[in-house]
Amino acid sequence: MLILAHQPPLAIGNLRAIHQHPEHAQLLIKTLRPEAVARRFDAPGRWYKRVPRARQYTGFVRELKEYVALAARATHGIAPVARMVGIVETDLGIGLVSEKIVDAHGALAPSLHAIYRQNGGASAWTDAALDTLLDELLRFNVIVGDLHASNIVYGTDSRGGAPRLVLVDGFGEKNLLPLKSLSRWLNQRNTRRVYRRLRQVLTRPVSSWGPPVRAG
């Protein structure tokens, strides 16, 4: 079992926290925040959240499944999602392990949210990178559940290639009836819809944005 409780997380989201893997510098571990789990899954009236067999870990299963599906179906190239490594037991519960996306100096890659705040908004290269991201999401038929500036980062990993925008969570089929898995047309229509919504959000003044939130 890995001990994570003694080290502060690298980032905290609504449901998850991101930790540096204590034994492998190139890996990250996502865990669930107990207070968020209690609020989302254990509160009165939230019985439907407890129906799935994996319960609070359903999101982990969803992302692992989508990563495996993409690997099985992609014949050329690499889908723009973080490389999933597996699961691990920690003192904070089950952790989802993924490879770290890094910048040119080997540091944790910045989120699109951080890039916009640093640059004061959009630029020609971010617009081009976003267009490329959409093209790749459509080409690889990635099932996108959530697409926002905090779960997209810009960098590279061990798979190589030039720096690009990569989705680090929020992918995989959410629906009980897996329509996006069954229909490429429906999935791509949804991808375009969430992409348009992201671009609309990105047009708002950066000064009105809150602090970046990662990992669910």
Strand, helix or coil for residue 175: coil
- Residue 88: C-alpha distances to residues 37, 94, 101, 154 (Å): 19, 6, 19, 26
| Inter-axis angle of helices 112-119 and 124-139, nearest 10 | 160
Give pLDDT tens digits for 10-34.
998 888 999 999 999 999 999 999 8
- Output DSSP code: residue 90: E
Instruction: Look at residue 112 and tell me if it is in a domain.
Output: yes
- Give the pTM: 0.90
Neighbours of 99 (CB within 10 A): 18
Instruction: Look at residue 123 and tell me if it is in a domain.
Output: yes
Instruction: Look at residue 87 and tell me if it is in a domain.
Output: yes
- Output DSSP code: residue 54: T
Instruction: Look at residue 213 and tell me if it is in a domain.
Output: no
Q: Domain range spanning residue 86?
A: 11-208
> 19 phi and psi, to 5 degrees?
-120, 150
The tally of domains found in the chain comes to 1
Give pLDDT tens digits for 176-192.
888 999 999 999 999 99
Q: How far apart are the C-alpha atoms of 146 and 143, rounded to whole Å?
A: 9
